[in-house]
Amino acid sequence: MLLPIDPWFTSAVAADVWSASRADAEALAARQAQRLRALLTAAAKGSRLFRESLGNAPAAADARLQDLPVSHKAELMRHFDDWVTDPALKLDQIQRFMRDGTQVGESYMGRFIVWESSGSTGEPGVFVQDRHAMGVYDALESVRRPAPTLWHRLLDPWLMSERIVFVGAIGGHFASVVSMERLRRLSPMLAPRLHCVSFLRPLDELLAEVQALRPTVLASYPSAALLLAQAQEEGRLKVALREIWTGGETLTPAMRRGIQRGFGCGVRNSYGASEFLPMAGECSLGRLHLNSDWLILEPVDEHGRPVPPGHASATTLLTNLANHVQPLIRYDLGDQVKLAASPCVCGSHLPLIDVQGRRDDTLRLAGRGRRRVPVLPLAISTVLEEEAGLFDFQLRQQGPRELTLCTARGGAEVTQQLRLARKALETFLAAQGVPEVHIHCHSHQAGQRGRSGKVLRVLATPSH
């Protein structure tokens, strides 16, 4: 089946992205305004859901973004078929396609790439991209990702000399693994150098597989990258990396230092979401720049009022200027961010952004003997979501082999989910080398919130 890619459009966008990277603030604002008008027009024409708030297309093109209502994932997903602008897209048919694990990275209907969010905010989502949206994401990723050295970028612009290993959740149509599998299908020459490894495997098996693949670039979440870096320091892993790519969690300065110390190479962090993959990337100085030529982020307070630069938001509203097939307009991301008040000294006028993301803990449970077994928070989340359908939860460590799992919801369905969750966790942890774990389950119990205002999903007690 043909993959949704438009090489001419992608090349044109790449040239524009390169130019915009060097543009001044006025030129960036002009690009943003033009693309916003195009998005609002497309939404008014094709989306029955947005037509109610935007009116007809001519009027929609001149609408002020701040005057439009905030949209939320749960509401949009309930009206998915009215939300999208292509009538051929039906949620039940897409979900049927996504239940087939062999189709990960394959195109849907020959025209779209689809992936699911992990449901980290308590509500899973399904996101559809056409070839134009994917062209924008590809261009942003390729043009604005700094190479380890300038000569390396010049000699190998398409990463053909690299062996790239992604360590993460690979058992579903998640954005990261879909992107990797799509690249494998697009480039038969690059395919043998791209690999995905599940972080659900026991640590010793995970280390052995990464070792055997001999990566030169490792892509993963900060917590997983740090765990692998510690294994490298201890001599349990021996790989020669040129670079680490991280994203999906908060990368603290301490985590960055630990990863760099373990692997002896640079770390390139990024900020993205299922709703827009490359929202921000690091410059050569290690600071995150927002791709404001292709998206709009509105930091707002708890009442939805704009937050000025230099101040942290309560949440953030995303408008995706690249995706016309599934319009995201003033979409509540739930992330706490802070825009810088002044430009970066690197010279780019792309806005600087500081992201206060989720900071879940890596648990260290008692294995056999005196061994402490590290368990990644995103691995736990994946198990509970995939095996029990539990998205709104908090898991707290109470002792070496004692955990408390709670959710704010209640009812018979939740009771059944907690039963499935306990069994799935016990099975998973036993495979990791942690037998006889005691898991206490509670419904109608809200979880502890972190500084970002989000409920922390996985918490280790201070003594653990």
| Statement to judge: residues 93 and 151 lie in one domain | yes
Q: Which of 326, 356, 386 is the last residue of a domain?
A: 356
Domain hosting residue 108, numbered range: 7-356
Measure the CA–CA gap between 434 and 305, rounded to whole angstroms.
Answer: 47
Looking up residue 397, the CATH number of its domain turns out to be: 3.30.300
Give the C-alpha separation, 172 to 139, whole Å: 25
Q: For the whole model, what pTM was predicted?
A: 0.85
| Number of domains, the chain | 2
Q: Are 255 and 391 within one domain?
A: no
The residue from 341, 356, 371 where one domain ends is 356
Tell whether 309 and 371 lie within a shared domain. Answer: no
On whether the CB atoms of residues 167 and 232 are closer than 8 A, the answer is no
CA distance linking residue 36 with residue 16, whole number of Å: 16
- Please tell me whether residues 286 and 392 are part of one structural domain: no
**Which residues does residue 331 pair with via DSSP β-bridges, in sequence order?**
71, 318
pLDDT in tens, the chain (464 residues): 445 667 788 889 999 999 999 999 999 999 999 999 999 999 999 999 999 888 887 778 888 999 999 999 999 999 999 999 999 999 999 999 999 988 998 999 999 999 998 655 556 799 999 999 999 999 999 888 766 554 454 444 556 678 999 999 888 899 999 999 988 888 888 889 999 999 999 999 999 999 999 999 999 999 999 999 999 999 999 999 999 999 988 888 889 999 999 999 999 999 999 999 999 999 988 899 999 999 999 999 988 999 999 999 989 999 999 999 999 999 999 888 999 999 999 999 999 999 976 668 899 999 987 789 999 998 999 899 889 988 889 999 999 999 999 998 889 999 999 999 999 999 999 999 999 999 999 998 877 655 444 567 899 976 54
- The CATH code of the domain that includes 173 is 3.40.50.12780
The residue assigned the tokens 């449901």 is 119
- What is the residue-wise DSSP string for 355-399? EE---PPPEEEE-STT-EEEE-HHHHHHHHHHHH---S-EEEEEE
β 276-282/438-442 pair status: unpaired
Query: Which residue, chain included where needed, has tokens 């027009």?
Result: 41
> Which of these three, 356, 379, 403, is where a domain ends?
356
Distance CA 441, CA 438 (A): 10
Q: Are residue 324 and residue 390 in the same domain, yes or no?
A: no
- Greatest distance between any 2 Cα atoms in the chain: 71
